[in-house]
Amino acid sequence: MIASATPIAVAPAPPLVDRHGRTISYLRVSVTDRCDLRCRYCMAEKMTFLPRDALLSLEEMALIAERFVARGVRKIRLSGGEPLVRRDAIDLVRRLGRHVGVGLDELTLTTNGTRLRAFAPMLADAGVRRINVSLDSRDPTTFRHITRHGDLSQVLDGIEAAQAAGLTVKINMVALAGLNEGEIPAMLAWAGGAGMDLTLIETMPLGMIDEDRADRFVPLTRVFDDLSRRFTLAADAHRSGGPARYWHVAETGRRLGLISPLTGNFCDSCNRVRLTTEGKLFTCLGHEDQVDLKAAIRGGGPVAVDNAIDAALLAKPARHDFSIAPGAAPAVRRHMSVTGG
């Protein structure tokens, strides 16, 4: 449980600006590296997760996040792993939700949807207004293959519960050659018809998995060309705070988002840093440079956290070095679930 009933008052500090002049306004927090699915592009089938005593407590996670809010972060996204598998994760949501409208513009969540039926009303009550649900196929057999054991009906039921609770839902779909590429047009039509935007994502070379990612890589340039022949797409100025670029879909009235780290680098406008569940702050998804905020908060409190954040921003690289080639090693050894999606 998080002990504090109200947000901790912390002294303000200079805004977060990296050495390339980019203002950091977005913090992504990996609540846990654990997940109840084993998506093939994200994890190996047999994963070794962090021991529980290596993790930040939820209280420490909240204190660090509040330090970022004090320094100008306007949006926090909770992710994982699957954030809702961590015991008492909803207490963290409630704690951070109290900052929405008083320093924080938005608190959001990325989830696989398996636990939304139980948690959606609590998320809405805590101040969350919008969530992303990772859903790579609406075919039960394909879904089970990609996730290794997932039940599609459980996720669809969770999406229904989220919408009933008043949450805006966006679907995230990783494009995978030979698995779900042919489903993308139908997914766009289904999402739009259900009042949801769809964001497509290129698979990223993070962590060792049991397949060669090059075999599954789909360039979103190709996908966009195909969708443009099927739908009426117009560039949309909408921004959600992340790297996606959006198009308005005339046939559904909703949006299509594209996150293309390999075919359309977006690093020049990067406004994000990531806090892992064990307290490491990564300033780039594609690099190993990090600072230890767990050691900082346990050893020196808010001042030490500020100093560590400043050191991290001085080292933030200009861009990632992602590439996918047959047989190539991943850009970094850590899995996406460790860093937070």
Q: Is residue 49 part of a domain?
A: yes
Query: How would you write the pLDDT of the chain (341 residues) with one tens digit per residue?
Result: 675 445 445 456 678 998 889 999 999 999 999 999 999 888 778 888 899 899 999 999 999 999 999 999 999 999 999 999 999 999 999 999 999 999 999 999 999 999 999 999 999 999 999 999 999 999 999 999 999 999 999 999 999 999 999 999 999 999 999 999 999 999 999 999 999 999 999 886 655 455 656 678 888 999 999 999 999 999 999 887 778 899 999 999 999 999 886 665 666 778 889 999 999 999 887 667 889 999 999 999 999 999 999 999 998 876 555 556 555 555 555 555 566 65
Q: Is residue 2 part of a domain?
A: no
Among left, alpha and beta (phi > 0; psi -120 to 50; other), residue 334 is: beta
Q: Is residue 17 part of a domain?
A: no
* Rounded distance between C-alpha atoms, residue 5 and residue 71, angstroms: 22
> Is 39 marked as a binding-site residue?
yes
Q: What are phi and psi of 107, to 5 degrees?
A: -120, 120
> Is 207 marked as a binding-site residue?
no
Which residues, 6 or more positions from 3, have their beta carbon under 8 angstroms from its beta carbon?
A: 59
The residue segments making up the domain with residue 247 are: 26-339
- Burial call 226-263: b when 16+ CB within 10 Å, e when fewer: ebeeebebeeeeeebbbbbbbbbbeebebbbbbbbbbe
> Is 41 marked as a binding-site residue?
yes
β-sheet with 290-292: strand ranges across: 233-236, 245-249, 254-259, 197-202, 168-175, 130-134, 106-111, 75-79, 26-30, 272-275, 280-282, 290-292
Task: Give the orientation angle of helix 152-164 with respect to helix 116-125, to 10 degrees.
Answer: 20
Q: Is residue 19 part of a domain?
A: no
Given a contact cutoff of 8 angstroms between Cβ atoms, the answer to whether 204 and 261 are in contact is yes
Nearest to 175 by CA among 195, 204, 150: 204
**How many domains are there within the chain?**
1
> Is 204 marked as a binding-site residue?
yes
> Is 300 marked as a binding-site residue?
no
Percentage with pLDDT > 70 across the chain:
83
Q: Is residue 165 part of a domain?
A: yes
> Is 273 marked as a binding-site residue?
yes
Q: What is the CA radius of gyration of the chain?
A: 19
CATH number at residue 215: 3.20.20.70
> Is 274 marked as a binding-site residue?
yes
> Is 187 marked as a binding-site residue?
no
Q: Is residue 8 part of a domain?
A: no
> Is 246 marked as a binding-site residue?
no
Token pair of 140 as six digits? 């039960």
> Is 257 marked as a binding-site residue?
no
> Is 280 marked as a binding-site residue?
no
Given a contact cutoff of 8 angstroms between Cβ atoms, the answer to whether 199 and 244 are in contact is yes
Q: Is residue 143 part of a domain?
A: yes
Distance in Å from the first CA to the final CA of the chain: 24
Q: Is residue 16 part of a domain?
A: no
